[in-house]
Amino acid sequence: MSELERQLDELVELLRSGPKIAVLTGAGISAESGIPTFRGKDGLWRQFRAEELATPQAFFRDPRLVWEWYDWRRGIIGAKEPHAGHRVLARWERYFPHFVLITQNVDGFHRRAGSQNILELHGNIWEVRCTKEGTIAENYESPLPEIPPLCPACGAIVRPNVVWFGEALPSETLEEAYAASATCDVMFVVGTSAYVQPAASLPLLAAERGAKIIEVNPEPTPLSSSADFAFLAKAGEVLPLIDERLLAGRGQA
Ligand code: APR
């Protein structure tokens, strides 16, 4: 039996004991769908300067430039599909009695893959927020017919309903994420460089409370050395492997 098979069987045995599960995902889970990550070799922060595009100051200074960038990203995301890894997490939401999905991603792929109860820590690129009234609306227009888009109700410019650098995360969503991390028995950490706070503190909180940490990432991260299971592999490969064993009843049930 390979080391990977041994790890998978040990993990499936843990999962079959009915643990409370939390999952934290980052850009890496959408990489196999063809969506660029932020800090990888061809990551967005290698091609663009975050402070010129993903901050309130940048938007105030040049809303057109910021919206042109988000319109481009929406075009890329809209042309791609969630993959098997996203679909496994959507299935697990129904399979496990206690399951919370927390994501840093704004691409909406978890929702498109069928997940319903998602804590979107950094917002959603398919939502816009009126800069005057604060109202949030879904907007799937791609490309956008006008840039910057305006609020249909009051005519003010709307902004992407995403969290920019220097901004607070949605407080209720963050509270729920902390609560899920503090009470879970198992936390999967999939496709994140575990670098950006406060999301990066969630696995540390879970581990502090005794949860088992399962990392899925082809690259090591600051979390890897303390993870109970570290699968140095792609999300689209490992998550289906775990799911197959879970369904087949393999592993010491
Ligand atoms: N499967 C799993 N992980 C992968 C894959 C894959 N196929 N491909 C790449 N990864 C990993 C990379 O090794 C890296 O550790 O995904 C991680 C992506 O890291 P980042 O690009 O830093 O993305 P993320 O961790 O989500 O960034 C957090 O930073 O810029 C902000 O708001 C932005 O939500 C984002 C936050």
pLDDT for 250 equals: 54
Note the pLDDT of residue 40. 86
pLDDT for residue 249 is more than 90: no
How far does residue 217's CA lie from ligand 1's centre (Å)? Answer: 9
Can you give the pLDDT at residue 1? 86
Residue 252 pLDDT exceeds 80? no
The pLDDT score that the predictor gives to residue 139 is: 98
Task: Return the residue whose CA atom lies nearest to atom 15 of ligand 1.
Answer: 193
Query: What DSSP letter does each residue of 45-65 carry, written as one string?
Result: HHHS-HHHHSSHHHHHH-HHH
Mean local confidence (pLDDT), 213-240: 97
| Residue ranges per structural domain of the chain | 1-34+83-122+169-253, 36-79+128-162
With a 6 Å cutoff on the Cβ, whether 25 touches ligand 1 is no
Of 104, 94, 86, 88, nearest to 25 (Cα)? Answer: 104
Separation between Cα atoms, residue 28 and residue 100, nearest integer Å: 19
C-beta of 160 in contact with ligand 1 (< 6 A): no
Q: Does the domain spanning 36-79+128-162 belong to CATH 3.30.1600.10?
A: yes
Active site residue 122: yes
DSSP at 198 = T
- pLDDT tens by residue, 37-71: 999 888 999 999 999 999 999 999 999 999 999 99
Burial class of 79 by CB neighbour count within 10 A (0 to 12, 13 to 18, 19+): exposed
Tens-digit pLDDT profile for residues 142-199: 999 999 999 999 999 999 999 999 999 999 999 999 999 999 999 999 999 999 999 9
CATH class as words, domain 1-34+83-122+169-253: alpha beta
Is 40 a pocket residue for ligand 1 (Cβ < 6 Å)? yes
Half-sphere exposure of 62 (CA within 13 A, CB side): 10
Q: How many CA atoms lie within 13 A of 139 on its CB side?
A: 28
**Residue pLDDT, tens place only, 69-121:** 999 999 999 999 999 999 999 999 999 999 999 999 999 999 999 999 999 99
Can you tell me which residue has the tokens 């809303």? Answer: 63
